[in-house]
Amino acid sequence: MVQINLLPTDLAPRPSVIRVSGIVKRILVVGFIIFILAGAIAAALYLFYSRELSDSKAKVSELKTNIKALEVTETRLILVRDRLEKAGLILGAESSMDEVESAAKLVTNFPQGVILSDAKFQKETSDLTLNSPNTTVLRELFKVLTGSSLYKNIDMTSFSFSPQGGFDIKIQLIK
């Protein structure tokens, strides 16, 4: 069939305008498709990241709860560790009773007239301050000290004489 155009030709659009309008129509269709796709991608990304955000918030709250529980546990562990250290110090501390007993055995052998004026007992050592009225008692004291097998070393740390008090001697007994 033949197409008959009853409109006047001066009212008909020019061919260049028809061509441009076709190109514009194609560009609009492609632009609309791109807009729809971009909107769909944006909606998908929004849903994905909102789900990731809610999961992250849940993990953060769970981690905060775990941290609080671990802080309580850490505090308890620190208290237990401190108690164990103190118990270890108490149980591991060696008593000076051995030194006291050894010094008591030695002092009972001192000659008459020797006065024990001061005694300090530590682990493996004892410090004694003695007073002797004269050289005879002092000589007997030195015989007792050198004849004793209770100590490995006996060091005289101080020796002084005064006419009123006699001889003051400080000795350190080392096991």
How many CB atoms lie under 10 A from the CB of residue 121? 19
Residue (of 125, 119, 109, 113) closest to 170 by Cα position: 119
Q: Which alpha helices (DSSP H) does the chain contain, by range?
A: 15-92, 97-108, 135-147
Q: Which residue has the higher pLDDT, 10 or 36?
A: 36
pLDDT bracket for residue 62 (50, 70, 90): very high
Comparing 22-36, 42-56, 119-133, which segment has the lowest mean pLDDT?
119-133
Q: How far apart, in whole angstroms, are the C-alpha atoms of residue 139 and residue 134? A: 9
- Which residue type is seen at 145? L
Residue labelled with tokens 């682990």 = 123
Comparing 19-28, 33-42, 158-167, which segment has the lowest mean pLDDT?
158-167
Give the predicted TM-score (pTM) of the model. Answer: 0.46
The answer to whether residue 41 scores a pLDDT higher than 90 is yes
Task: For Cα atoms 144, 148, 151, give the angle at the middle one, nearest 5 degrees.
Answer: 130
